[in-house]
Structures are given as C-alpha cells and as structure tokens.
Amino acid sequence: MLDEKAKRTLLRNIPHPLNICGVKEGDQVNGFTLSWMTQASFKPPLIAIGVRQDSRSHAMLKASQVFAVSFLEVTQQTLAEAFFKPQEQVGNKFGEVEFYLGEATGCPIITEALGYIECQVKGSLEEGDHSLFVGEVIAAAQHRQGQPLWLKDTPWQYGG
C-alpha cells in the first residue's frame, strides 16, 4: 500500500542541487532551472538529469543531444527563480542574465555561475512526466569558488 503522505515527505528529503541547464537547437538557445541531477559514473564521467517532457527545453535537448549545466552559488536563489520559466535568448542575455556559448556544445553557460560542465547525451529514458538524460561530461571549468545552491536552502518544494 502506498502512503501518499509518507511518499511525499520521504521523496522531498532527497537532496536536490539547483542549477541552470542550457540547451540549444540549431541557432536557438534556452535555459531552465535544473533540480534533478546526480553523478552517475566516474569513468567515463556521467551525470543524469531529469527534464520535464512537455517543455521546449526537452525537445531542444532531445534534438541536439547536448547540454550545459551552470552551477549556482547559495546566494543566487533569485537567478534560479528567474529560470523556473524557460528563458530564451535576447542578444547575449537571458533577460538581464549574461551568458556565453560553451566551446564543446554551443550551449549557454551563465557568466556569473560558480562554473559549468558541458555534456553529450549518451542515453535517455522517457517515463512518467520527466525524461532521464545521461550525459558524458566533455568539458568543465570553474569560474570561482563558493558554496553551491541546494533546494533545501530555499522555501521551495519540488518533487514527491
């Protein structure tokens, strides 16, 4: 028997980093707040991300098979909130947020992030309302040091 209240409580205890995922399709770029991510392998370096299937970013990621993750600092909650609704490119910005395109993937990377990884999709699983994409890390750089932003650092709840 599934106790709905217990399920929600326990699943919300899973730690979730909050970062910005940049995607592209052709010349178009987009970004969204990514809260489902984990390292899946050391050799090769793989991460797994969850992406809502009914989003534009999902379609772009599926078409291009590449993405970039910009790691946010604990003080960048407002930035994470801005990307809850996918952000499209206007010049060299997502609204007021400056970015540049990664050399390995061409996906947008947030200039003020702690750092980034760029990934090539190696596999996916489309079940439920999110797809799981497994990406091999093909490029990475650290812009600066800082404490990462976690969902627990915010008043928000996602999942469960």
Q: What pLDDT band is residue 53 in, cutting at 50, 70 and 90?
A: very high
What's 108's domain CATH number?
Answer: 2.30.110.10
How far apart (Å, rounded) are the C-alpha atoms in residues 36 and 39? 11
How far apart (Å, rounded) are the C-alpha atoms in residues 97 and 87? 10
Look up the domain containing 63 and give its range.
Answer: 14-153
- Is pTM beyond 0.85 here? yes
Q: How many domains would you assign to the chain?
A: 1
Q: Is the pLDDT of residue 42 over 80?
A: yes
Q: Is residue 3 part of a domain?
A: no
